[in-house]
Amino acid sequence: MAGEYWHLSDLLQLQHILLSHAPSLKEGLVWWSKSLSLFERNVYIEISESNESLDLTLSTRDQQNLPAWSELLLTELHASLSSQVKTELVSVSSKLCLRVSLYELEPQPAMPGLHSFAKKVFLLLQHQAIESPDLQSQLKRTIQRAIDKPLSIGVVAKQLGLSTRTLQRRLSEKQLNFSQLVEDEKQTLALNLLADTHLSVAQVALKLGYDDPSNFHRSFRRWFSFTPSFYRQQCQQNRIQVNQQPVRLHYARGSIGLPGELHTQEGQVWLEVDNIAFEKVVTVECKDQDGIWRHYPAFFDDFLADGTELWSTANLPVAQPLSFRLRYDVDGETYIDDNQQRDYLVSERLLLGAPAYIVPTLSIIKTGFAYQLFIELACRLANVDRILCYLGEHPEPLALQQVSTNSQYSVWTLSSPFPALAKQCHFRLYDKYNQELALHHYPKHYQFVPPLM
């Protein structure tokens, strides 16, 4: 239970506990009815109560025919209750209904602790996906098995029992790119091997299917702003002890835009992850368009500070406004950041988490013989009067301009020509009394993505 696959016998046992160990038969019937959705999200029981009876009516959310198993379960419930209370199966608006007499409902012998535990398990399972492994999961496993060999979409399609054209069409429908999926798996395995094994960089390159280690080195530098050796060194030096909340929201981006701000169609989440151990799984659980909560993977981006890493998701094609919680599995433990049981909701374009400010836009482009800077900074501090940007070794800072504000943050921007290529920058914030703010902010420096020459 609660894993990638569910076992039918476990769900039936959970359903039995919810019914038989409730404080009363009426409450047990309510929880039995709720648990039916664990078998299939589309099926549910509509409960109605009159002066004489409690009616449990089978229904479907899409108005399709009821699956045979649901009617079988209701029939079995009728048979098991008939010795305790007066029940009858009737048809209500062409739907099967179990009618239970309220006159004979009495307290039943129960184990309240077991029933309470079963309810908690049910609530956890309610957020688990129950569909068969999707296309992306199947592709991921297939790619992982042959990551050290040249992979073509035709070979992978054959292993999945599909034609190349069918696989291409299904990838296109889900806005997936085969080459990008392969590169994502290479990137994840590279981080794993560098941090958690004693293999040389050349051996890691070979396991990823690179004949020449220099090609792997170039790929790694394209993925991240540092070398494989630097990453390995940082992983070994920056282990920290677990704290109460080892995963935190850095910031999230939604599809809601304000006048003068950049607008995006999909959401994305950035997380702060304490480097307790390398073997970890970081996911973001989002409310999908069908109302079901599903897990979306996050991937390592960079080092934020000693012992803290920055992870992020890909664009999330989920329900808007973006609603989510963070999950971190490491060393056999699971840590959840659900915004104190309220879940995170991106009601503005951005949602800021732990840092005082974030920099969602940081780019430099070549224009003739000079360069052009584009910087956007969002700050949740209310008393900021000016923000200065220090670029590389350039002695004079450039000032950002405040362009908008809302109840959660203010937006500051900088668009300016610059005489040289800047590799990194840092910011200093001041209030109207010239007191510096956010002195302990991290990261200390922000890296520019080198422009295409």
Per-residue pLDDT tens for 186-211? 998 898 888 877 789 999 999 999 98
Lowest mean pLDDT among 149-158, 191-200, 261-270, 343-352: 261-270
Burial class from Cβ neighbours inside 10 Å (0-12, 13-18, 19+) for residue 102 reads middle
49 against 241, higher pLDDT: 49
374, 410 in Cβ contact below 8 A? no
Question: Residues 162, 163, 169, 173: what is their CA dihedral angle, to the nearest 10 degrees?
Answer: 0
Residue 129 confidence (pLDDT): 59
Q: How far apart are CA 74 and CA 273, in angstroms?
A: 46
Of these ranges, 224-238, 285-299, 418-432, the one predicted with the greatest mean pLDDT is 418-432
Strands (E), 355-441: 357-367, 370-379, 386-391, 398-399, 401-405, 410-418, 424-430, 436-437
390, 428 in Cβ contact below 8 A? yes
Q: Quickly state the pLDDT bin for 380 (edges 50, 70, 90).
A: very high
- Asked whether this chain's domains 135-237 and 357-447 adopt the same fold, the reply is no
Q: Is the pLDDT of residue 406 over 60?
A: yes
Lowest mean pLDDT among 243-252, 306-315, 444-453: 444-453
One-letter identity of residue 359: V
Q: How far apart are CA 31 and CA 29, in angstroms?
A: 5
- 412-423: average pLDDT: 89
DSSP secondary structure letters along 43-90: EEEEEEE-SSEEEEEEEETT-PPPPHHHHHHHHHHHHHHTTTS-EEEE
Q: Is the pLDDT of residue 4 over 60?
A: no
CATH superfamily of 247-352: Carbohydrate binding type-21 domain (2.60.40.2440)
Q: How far apart are CA 113 and CA 144, in angstroms?
A: 43
Structure tokens at 198: 């004693």
Q: What is the CB neighbour count within 10 angstroms for residue 409? A: 22
Residue 264 confidence (pLDDT): 46
- 379-392: average pLDDT: 93
Q: Does CATH place domain 135-237 in 3.40.50.300? A: no
Q: Quickly state the pLDDT bin for 170 (edges 50, 70, 90).
A: confident
DSSP 340: T
Residue 347 confidence (pLDDT): 86
Residue 238 confidence (pLDDT): 66
Structure tokens at 154: 């035709």
Residue 374 confidence (pLDDT): 92
Residue 180: partners with Cβ closer than 8 Å, 6 or more residues away:
none
Q: How far apart are CA 393 and CA 419, in angstroms?
A: 12
What percentage of the chain reaches a pLDDT higher than 90? 28
Q: Is the pLDDT of residue 2 over 50?
A: no
pLDDT of 253-311, one tens digit each?
A: 987 544 444 444 578 999 999 988 777 889 999 988 777 888 889 999 888 888 889 99
Bridge-partner residues for 360, per DSSP? none
Q: How far apart are CA 214 and CA 191, in angstroms?
A: 17
> Of 191, 392, 185, nearest to 280 (Cα)?
191
Q: What is the distance, to the nearest Å, from the Cα of residue 79 to the centroid of all Cα atoms in its chain?
A: 43
Q: How far apart are CA 330 and CA 215, in angstroms?
A: 32
Residue 341 confidence (pLDDT): 79
pLDDT of 303-321, one tens digit each?
A: 888 888 999 998 887 888 8
353, 250 in Cβ contact below 8 A? yes
- Listed by start position, the domains of the chain span 8-126, 135-237, 247-352, 357-447
Q: Is the pLDDT of residue 440 over 50?
A: yes
107, 24 in Cβ contact below 8 A? yes
Lowest mean pLDDT among 96-110, 122-136, 279-293, 317-331: 122-136
pLDDT of 36-62, one tens digit each?
A: 888 877 788 988 888 788 899 998 876
One-letter identity of residue 53: S
The mean predicted confidence, pLDDT, of the chain is 84
DSSP 109: -
What percentage of the chain reaches a pLDDT higher than 70? 90
DSSP secondary structure letters along 225-282: SS-HHHHHHHHHH------S--EEEEEEE-S---TTS---SSBEEEEEEE-S-SSEEE
265 against 172, higher pLDDT: 172
218, 259 in Cβ contact below 8 A? no
- 170-176: average pLDDT: 82
Q: How far apart are CA 375 and CA 416, in angstroms?
A: 9
CATH (one of 3.60.15.10, 3.65.10.10, 2.60.40.650, 2.170.120.12) for 357-447: 2.60.40.650
Residue 11 confidence (pLDDT): 85
Q: How far apart are CA 295 and CA 327, in angstroms?
A: 9
- Peptide bond between residue 419 and the one before it cis (omega within 30 degrees of 0): no
Structure tokens at 157: 């399609």
Q: What is the distance, to the nearest Å, from the Cα of residue 107 to the centroid of all Cα atoms in its chain?
A: 43
Residue 151 confidence (pLDDT): 84
Residue 104 confidence (pLDDT): 62
2 against 390, higher pLDDT: 390
> Of 138, 102, 375, 354, nearest to 246 (Cα)?
354
